[in-house]
Structure 1
Amino acid sequence: MSAVTETLDEARRLGHEPFDPEVCARHLQVRMASWQWRGRGDRTRFVRPLQATLEVLDGLDGESLAERWAVFEQTVWPRWLAGEDRLPWVTRWGCGVWSLVISRLVTPVWDTVARVRMSDWTRLLPADDPLIVSERRLEEVARECTIGGPSARLGARQLATKLMLVRGIDTLEQFREDDLLIAPLGRKGKNVLDVLLCDLGVFARTPRTGIERYRSIPRHTERELAVVHGVPEPFTEAVAVYLEAYSRRVSDRYPTLRHKAGALAHFFTYLREEYPQVTECSQITPAQARGFVPYATELARRRQRTVRRGDDQDRTTAYSWANEVRTFFSDMSSWGSEDESPLAAFAPSAVLLTRHDLVDTGILKARKRVRARMTSTVLDLQREMPNIRAFALRRWHDAEQTLAGAPDDVHAVVAERAAFWDWALIELLVTSGLRIEEACELTTFDVLKRTLPDGSIYYLLHIKPSKFARARVIPIGDQLGRVLAEIIRHVRGFYGTDHVPAIDRRDEHEKIPLPRAPYLLQAIRHPSALNTNTIRGRLRWISEQSGARNADGTPLILSPHDCRRVFASEHLNAHTPVHVIQALLGHATIDTVMIYAKLYPDQLVTDYRAAMRGLYSDVYGPDGTKAPTEQEWSEFTKGCSLRDMGTHVCALPTGEHCPRGLVCLGCGHAQPKKSALPVFRRMLHSHTRALERAHAEGEPAGQIAARELEIERIRSAMNRAEELTGDAAAALERAADVVSAQVS
């Protein structure tokens, strides 16, 4: 054992022995002899505040120094930080406190050292002190680390020093997983410290991001789920036994078990509040079970995260709870009738809730509202999704150009990575139709290469079992192949390797660790896997930045499952057979495909055009759609250049905007025909009688004014026709015939 280790052990022993200020002072004087002082008077300035601090500790309650230090941190230290009752500045009150800390006589809590720059104090320690040795090791491995900037790496070393003081450890190898949870989430240098500890082999895993460390909640057993979700005590055993049976017989998916436990907890809580005399499942009556539906509806309204649009606009949450309760009693009655079944003691005498009990509770209306919202969502996605994808692609290309002009700019590198992943995540989900958990579990091993008998090569993408515990493969087309290739290229570039490295990953839904593998979705800013929260956040951000809007004008927030709906709609509109879409999406039935994929508007427009084309052919015959001859086209062009309107000819050039909306009478471009004067007179007489009738019937002033304006237009056109000595329209037609003859 080295002398430094013996000294540290002695300091910790003194901290737990009966407190003696003189013994502690002598120990510190011996320790200070080996400290690295900057000047001759530097050590002298530490002696007086150290003695004053020991005098303060001597006046506190507690048997040992450790007990008195705990009281000091709770009562005295907060007042000193606030400038109250602390030692005079001439005594340098901090010197005494931090001398006790870095000498290991006391073990501080995190709040004490959180805001202190410990490097100002640890610089005094000798070169062989474990804190200095550990900091030097971290500094050496940080030189080869490409994660984070210089400030983040410095923060990682300082954070390690503080955690070692708080934990009372002397080597980096003594770090545990929970030690990184001491500092709050988002602490500067925390992720970099995790990377450095993994590089040193302290942790036998790959680095994690902060959110992954804090969300590593263990998977509860079926019995623990019943307790965690708050099932009342008389029914806890029944729910636990049922969940165990359901896990064996039907499905052991953790989200399903959690949802069932939550729904049953609501039901038995209602039962405990309304019918406290009921203490067993066999005592529950159908009337009591049916009363849970209005209770669940009101509870769901209180807990609803979104704002309801009306009194009858409830979500399907309450009915989902009621359906879980119905399934619970149905399964209990069925499984409990088996020989030696553990559910026999809890099975009710009859099925308490049936499907018919839920029909008149509003569930059908709620489902119709859900389908209507989904239809509206799909239509909005079909309208806005091309804009979102184009915006993401353009933003990535702009970031690439910026990086090409400044390849050493760290900010340009980070911006290019973020822009790429925004584009890659959208394109991966849209072109593959994967669920978010399926996309997160993709690895390079899932890209399968196959060769046909003729020698041609094609690729398949293997999708691991997820919702229905069934694996599937989908073909890799050009778009999906490009996305996968770009993802692999960027991951390699992040690590500077020729392969995608294997990393650790945790299944966030099942709460279990996954095997270490070269996952595709990793290394956006940190050498770890992308979690579902990151993916959802990136999609939300890019959709907001693109300016996408719903039909009602609200911002369109893109979710991973929206990309799956777009995939289904695009394939259905492209005439992909429904059973093929079902296989690509991994749905259990074709009906589910039709929920996601909507025929309107692409398929509807296509079918409408086909029907109209057949109707046109029936009316006009096969010659109705033939290409026009040169003579026919010349006559058509002539008619477009000089439009004959019957009573007049429009001389407005073809393609020019008509400010009157083709209201020709009274227009300066309209050349009236002298031969149309009888028509104008009949029109004037008819409109005049209509105006007189409007006055007599008391029509609104606006309609009367419109009739008067129409009469003025007819009278103006008639006067212009009467003033003509010849037919100006006929003259224009003759001039047009001469011009066309010269051109031909």
Structure 2
Amino acid sequence: MARHGRTTRTPVSPRDPALLADARIPGPRPSTGINNERAATPRDELALLAKCLLSEPTDRNLWRQQLSLTRVLDWLEEFPADTWQDRWLLSGSDDQGSAWGPQGLSAGTRSRFTTGLGILIVLQVVRPSYGWLFGSRLLGVYDAYRRHNQAALFSELRERADGREGCDEHATDALNLLTRMSIVTGKDLLDFELEDLTDYAQARRATGRTVASLPFAYEILHAVGGLKDSPPTLRQAQARGQLTPAELVDRHPITDRAVRDVLVHYIAERSGALDYGSLVNQAQMLADLFWGDLERHHPGIASLNLPDTVAQEWKQRVRVLPDGRPRRTYHGVFLAVRSFYLDLLQWSMEDPARWAQWAAPCPISEADIRGYLKETRHRQARMQQRTRTLVPVLPQLVRAAEDRLHRATLLLDAARSAKLGEEFTIEDRRYRRTGRKCSNWRPTALFITQADEPGPRFDAECEENNAFWTWAGIEVLRRTGTRIEELLELTHLSLRQYQAPTGETVPLLQISPSKTDRERVIPADPDLVAVLARIIRRIKGPAERVPLLNRYDGYERVFGPPLPHLFQCPSQHRLQVISANRIRELLTDLALRAGIVDVDGTPLRFTPHDFRRIFSTETVNGGLPIHIAAKLLGHLDLNTTQAYVAVYPEEVIRHYRQFVDQRRTHRPSEEYREPSDTEWQEFRDHFSLRKVALGTCDRPYGTPCQHENACVRCPMLRLDLAQEPRLLEIETNTRKRLGEAQRMQWLGEVAGLQESLRHIATKKQQVERLREQSDHGEAGENALG
């Protein structure tokens, strides 16, 4: 079944950097242009050029510079070559890393060698490899290189980097990256190509290091006019795009050319009716699991008309995975092969000249696919059982997300106001603002650690960011029942309003076309509006607008247009739309943190699609007609909705109710009589008596007040926001009484008053939560307006 309705085709990149895992590690490239002339510059001219590098050319500075330059040039002249670059390569130092140069040098002499080599690098006379640069600490050389080579362009790059609201270290890291590329390649910045960035990434990964700043460097270079005719982001440049039918089939080697061609033509015909993801699966099942398997086990086979023994052997093999485990999806392979044969048979009657030669008896009979329905029912049963397991623990997950976000927000606020090394207390736990491991790695990061218990430090900003998007994802998923791709496609434009005939304004959430290729609109309750409003306030930029971003659809392998996506956050020094895998990781991490387990102690985890099933179950169980639920979920068939709803069949419920009714006939009639006037009056008075000074008592009917009207201590009290001043008066009076009891040494009174103050603090927190919920609701209405 198709997952998406979009079938847009995009051209395939002629060279995909993502596929260059086995590419060679690049070394210095041959010199070209002026660099070639520089590499052969005589010694006396190099000395004159080196003087221009000094900002303060005093006699002593000139003497030191000339001494360092003379030492390294004398050493390089020991190797027979025409250029300084060739002498450097002959010395073998390029492969020695920090151990380069003559051996047995003193620290002072080695320092002069390093200074002299740095001068040659800045003058573009010697160009070491990436491996050598990664192993050398030449940050000062990088600064000098930028001042004396394309200084105006490097300055513009710095301005672009700082204008991205990135931290200083991120901008410097990106500039150092581009500087290394310029040193190694000998190219001007505006002459860089995508292949140069790919070579850098390969060399960086070969040393076991990350290339997190590469996308940031790509974007600022593109912003100043580099990487001509390339997309604005590295991810777009490296995206593989959608493969053609021929490329999809050729990923699986097929010996017989004629069969390969018919598979390509068949996939091309099916591409008009299938989305790209389904097309990829179809090509893999036919070209690899079907015909590829036949060629591997029956060399020389060249006809679709399979002998019965060959077909039977293949059907047995496809039921088992290469590692010996049973293949649970083998029915899908059977259906794909059966469709292939039946389509060819039908097309042979419509266009015999093209397809008749390939019409053959289908090796998959109806009996072979009969088990598909059974497997489908088993899968639905497993999903329904999973939903019934997760529904009771969903409130626990929601509370865990709210508590984590509340704690992370407090930690972030405290960390921002704390100085380095300072301790602070959050919710009875002490934390310490810690420093960084090295001077040039994220100096602005807010790292904190627990002061009471030893443990790893963590980034307060990163923790708050993860906590917020975990909470936001859970709230939107459970209140809308959207698919994960629909969630990530929500934009600021998705929020709409509807003016009802009564004059009431109803907020609506517009869901973009996805699996069924049909757009739908669902009403948004006040809680959902408050969540969306909070998201919008968070992601708005300095211009009070939601930034426009391109979202990459990993299933369709296409980039969407720039839109104000709601689920966006900084990642790798720039804004990006959150990926589906990131949402899954956040949900899994929260379930582990919260310790959510089944009745037998098995850890439980939530996936985005679990919330869709829970939503459908709760809406139908809550009385919503199933055809309305199908509209909200975007299902075209009511049977699909029924499969999502983890409830008992209607016949079972009806018969059980009949059983209960029959059982009542054997029970005392007194249990089922009409209530008397006195009993009814008592029932109504119960709700009137629940009204107290501070709010409303939520104790259930038929239960007396267990706290002797000491409402401030009662957990059943729901405070009225208008009564907050009265609560503060009670707190002030209690503190006065506590002070008197402590002076008079009334220890029993002291313990009771302290207990009352503890409960008063809890009630004040309840007031804050109620006020925050009220503010979010009002802000949501304003955001929608």
Q: TM-score, normalised by structure 1?
A: 0.71
Deviation at 1:144, TM superposition (A): 4.1
Instruction: Pick closer, same or farther for the CA change 1:262–1:565 going to 2, 3 Å.
Output: same
Identity %, equivalent residues: 24
Deviation at 1:394, TM superposition (A): 1.7
Choose 96-105 or 606-615, whichever is displaced more.
Answer: 606-615
Deviation at 1:84, TM superposition (A): 8.9
Matches within 5 A, 1:8-407: 12-13=32-33, 16=36, 23=41, 25-36=43-54, 39-52=61-74, 54-55=76-77, 58=80, 76-82=93-99, 86=103, 88-89=105-106, 90=109, 92-95=112-115, 97-125=117-145, 127-130=147-150, 132-147=151-166, 149-171=167-189, 173-177=190-194, 179-181=196-198, 182-183=200-201, 184=204, 186-187=210-211, 189-194=213-218, 196-197=220-221, 200=224, 212=235, 216-234=239-257, 235-248=259-272, 250-251=273-274, 253-264=275-286, 265-281=288-304, 283-299=305-321, 301-302=323-324, 314-339=326-351, 342-345=354-357, 347-359=358-370, 366-367=375-376, 369-405=378-414
**One-letter amino acid matched to 1:354:** S
Match of 2:423 in 1: none
Deviation at 1:97, TM superposition (A): 4.4
Matches within 5 A, 1:294-693: 294-299=316-321, 301-302=323-324, 314-339=326-351, 342-345=354-357, 347-359=358-370, 366-367=375-376, 369-405=378-414, 411=446, 412-492=460-540, 495-525=541-571, 526-599=574-647, 612=660, 615-616=663-664, 619-621=667-669, 624-626=672-674
Instruction: Pick closer, same or farther for the CA change 1:263–1:563 going to 2, 3 Å.
Output: same
Instruction: Pick closer, same or farther for the CA change 1:98–1:299 going to 2, 3 Å.
Output: farther
What is the alpha-carbon distance in structure 2 between the residues aligned to residue 233 and residue 503 of structure 1?
A: 46
**One-letter amino acid matched to 2:627:** H
Count of residues in Structure 1 that have an aligned counterpart in Structure 2: 598
- Contact (CA 8 Å) 1:449, 1:457: kept in 2 or not? yes
Instruction: Pick closer, same or farther for the CA change 1:232–1:70 going to 2, 3 Å.
Output: farther
> SS of the counterpart of 1:153?
helix
What is the alpha-carbon distance in structure 2 between the residues aligned to residue 141 and residue 344 of structure 1?
A: 62
Choose 515-524 or 467-476, whichever is displaced more.
Answer: 467-476
**One-letter amino acid matched to 2:98:** L
Instruction: Pick closer, same or farther for the CA change 1:188–1:224 going to 2, 3 Å.
Output: closer
What is the alpha-carbon root mean square deviation over aligned residues? 4.0
For residues 401-448 of structure 1, the C-alpha deviation after alignment (integer angstroms, 9 at most, x for no partner) is 444556657634443332111100111122111111222222222222
- Contact (CA 8 Å) 2:38, 2:124: kept in 1 or not? no
What is the alpha-carbon distance in structure 2 between the residues aligned to residue 116 and residue 146 of structure 1?
A: 29
What is the alpha-carbon distance in structure 2 between the residues aligned to residue 534 and residue 35 of structure 1?
A: 48
- Contact (CA 8 Å) 2:97, 2:132: kept in 1 or not? no
Instruction: Pick closer, same or farther for the CA change 1:289–1:31 going to 2, 3 Å.
Output: farther
- Contact (CA 8 Å) 1:118, 1:161: kept in 2 or not? no
Query: Any unmatched runs of 5+ in structure 2?
Result: 1-29, 419-444, 447-459, 680-785
Instruction: Pick closer, same or farther for the CA change 1:335–1:206 going to 2, 3 Å.
Output: closer
- Contact (CA 8 Å) 2:546, 2:564: kept in 1 or not? yes
Instruction: Pick closer, same or farther for the CA change 1:56–1:296 going to 2, 3 Å.
Output: farther
Which is higher, the Rg of structure 1 or of structure 2?
1
- Contact (CA 8 Å) 1:506, 1:512: kept in 2 or not? yes
Instruction: Pick closer, same or farther for the CA change 1:610–1:422 going to 2, 3 Å.
Output: farther
What is the alpha-carbon distance in structure 2 between the residues aligned to residue 376 and residue 272 of structure 1?
A: 42
Instruction: Pick closer, same or farther for the CA change 1:324–1:161 going to 2, 3 Å.
Output: same
Instruction: Pick closer, same or farther for the CA change 1:143–1:16 going to 2, 3 Å.
Output: closer
Match of 2:736 in 1: none
Instruction: Pick closer, same or farther for the CA change 1:13–1:25 going to 2, 3 Å.
Output: farther
> SS of the counterpart of 1:58?
coil
Deviation at 1:510, TM superposition (A): 0.9
- Contact (CA 8 Å) 2:145, 2:179: kept in 1 or not? no
For residues 80-112 of structure 1, the C-alpha deviation after alignment (integer angstroms, 9 at most, x for no partner) is 535796584525444454444332235444323
- Contact (CA 8 Å) 1:569, 1:597: kept in 2 or not? yes
- Higher relative contact order by CA 8 Å / sep ≥ 6: 1 or 2? 2
- Contact (CA 8 Å) 2:38, 2:125: kept in 1 or not? no
What is the alpha-carbon distance in structure 1 between the residues aligned to residue 331 and residue 484 of structure 2?
A: 26
> SS of the counterpart of 2:643?
helix
Instruction: Pick closer, same or farther for the CA change 1:630–1:463 going to 2, 3 Å.
Output: closer
**One-letter amino acid matched to 1:349:** A
- Contact (CA 8 Å) 1:462, 1:473: kept in 2 or not? yes
Instruction: Pick closer, same or farther for the CA change 1:119–1:97 going to 2, 3 Å.
Output: same
Instruction: Pick closer, same or farther for the CA change 1:438–1:52 going to 2, 3 Å.
Output: farther
**One-letter amino acid matched to 1:45:** L
Match of 1:644 in 2: none
Deviation at 1:115, TM superposition (A): 3.6
Instruction: Pick closer, same or farther for the CA change 1:569–1:620 going to 2, 3 Å.
Output: same
- Contact (CA 8 Å) 2:31, 2:186: kept in 1 or not? no
Instruction: Pick closer, same or farther for the CA change 1:170–1:458 going to 2, 3 Å.
Output: same
Deviation at 1:195, TM superposition (A): 5.6
What is the alpha-carbon distance in structure 2 between the residues aligned to residue 286 and residue 473 of structure 1?
A: 53
**One-letter amino acid matched to 1:119:** L
> SS of the counterpart of 1:548?
coil
Deviation at 1:467, TM superposition (A): 2.0
What is the alpha-carbon distance in structure 1 between the residues aligned to residue 617 and residue 63 of structure 2?
A: 79
Q: TM-score, normalised by structure 2?
A: 0.67
What is the alpha-carbon distance in structure 1 between the residues aligned to residue 650 and residue 136 of structure 2?
A: 64
Deviation at 1:245, TM superposition (A): 0.3
**One-letter amino acid matched to 1:277:** G
> SS of the counterpart of 2:561?
strand
What is the alpha-carbon distance in structure 2 between the residues aligned to residue 13 and residue 174 of structure 1?
A: 13
Deviation at 1:18, TM superposition (A): 12
Query: Any unmatched runs of 5+ in structure 1?
Result: 1-9, 305-313, 632-744
What is the alpha-carbon distance in structure 2 between the residues aligned to residue 592 and residue 538 of structure 1?
A: 28
What is the alpha-carbon distance in structure 1 between the residues aligned to residue 89 and residue 645 of structure 2?
A: 64
Instruction: Pick closer, same or farther for the CA change 1:521–1:50 going to 2, 3 Å.
Output: same
What is the alpha-carbon distance in structure 1 between the residues aligned to residue 89 and residue 250 of structure 2?
A: 35
What is the alpha-carbon distance in structure 2 between the residues aligned to residue 18 and residue 497 of structure 1?
A: 49
- Contact (CA 8 Å) 1:378, 1:565: kept in 2 or not? yes
What is the alpha-carbon distance in structure 1 between the residues aligned to residue 188 and residue 70 of structure 2?
A: 28
